[in-house]
Amino acid sequence: MELRVLGCLVEKQRTTPDAYPLSLNALRLACNQTTNRDPVVAYDEATIRQATGRLSQRGWIRLASGRGSRAVKYRHLLDGALGLSDAELSLLAVLMLRGPQTPGELKQRSERLHPFAALADVEDVLAGLGERSLVARLPRQPGQKEDRFAQLLGEEAEAAPAKPPPADAQTVTPYLLYEDAEGAIAWLARAFGFREVDRSTGAAGGLHSELEVDRRGGRIYVGQPPGEYAGPARAGRTSLVFVLVDDADAHYERALAAGATIVEEPADTPFGHRRYGCADPQGHEWFFAQPLIE
């Protein structure tokens, strides 16, 4: 499953660059193509999402949604992760999408990804991949006249453990519930500069979104439960969210211009921060602080 997803990302990067990176739906359609695929599959979005999660843990793909984009999009990192040339990446992609093949088949089927001038060029690249244990020459079966090659990334994917998070990785993520998550996401982007990087909906309705809150990659989750939900403005209670920023005063001015309700004016604190507090239109309170350097 993971290799089909990975192969599709490489293929579409080369053949349809204007549509790359791929949305979740576009990735599902690419995986389920009935041409240039062996075997033909019928993955749903949940299956694709699980595969992208595992590939992301190995550092082989990442989210690539642009600013203002409402769709989650994915790009591969395989060439950088494994140090692959254009030619090597193209052959691996075709092997991931269509299974074991002869050098002649690979030359013909990789034409749109990377044209090879001669069959010997394909064989040279396969030899280099074989030296790195990324492909293997298969024993000939009765009736076969040519050698066939298979990719070994599948074995690596099964054997390789997920990368542990870096020491400074975020391990606790605030999850804020809103009556109107769409409106909250738009306002948080306008007032605080947050950027949506992932979104999904549940089978029973509702909405889940992940927002990047700073250039270090810190995130919050925003959700809207299905059915009736009373947000903090109506319920009269909220959680406080504390976020570090580079310039508290500039951040204050931006939030104020967007209509934030100020609950604490900017001021230096005894704890080594310059801080201000505000409430968003649906009642959640936020405190933004700039570390003071003596």
Q: What is the pLDDT of residues 142-162, one digit of tens each?
A: 888 889 999 999 754 443 444
Strands 285-291 and 240-244: parallel
pLDDT of 160 reads 43
Mean pLDDT for the stretch of residues 279-288: 91
292 in Cβ contact with 274 (< 8 Å): yes
In order of 5, 121, 204, the CA distances from 50 in angstroms are 11, 36, 19
The CA-atom distances, in angstroms, between 161 and each of 134, 164, 166 are 17, 9, 15
pLDDT at residue 247 is higher than 70: yes
pTM of the model: 0.57
Rounded CA-CA distance 264/184 in Å is 21
Q: What is the pLDDT of residue 161?
A: 46
Per-residue confidence (pLDDT) for residue 167, from 0 to 100: 59
Q: Kindly tell me if the per-residue pLDDT of 92 is higher than 60.
A: yes
In whole numbers, what is the pLDDT of the chain averaged over residues?
Answer: 86
Q: Examine the pLDDT at 169 and tell me if it is beyond 60.
A: no
State residue 170's pLDDT score: 60
Mean of the pLDDT values across residues 243-267? 93
Helix or strand or coil: residue 245?
coil
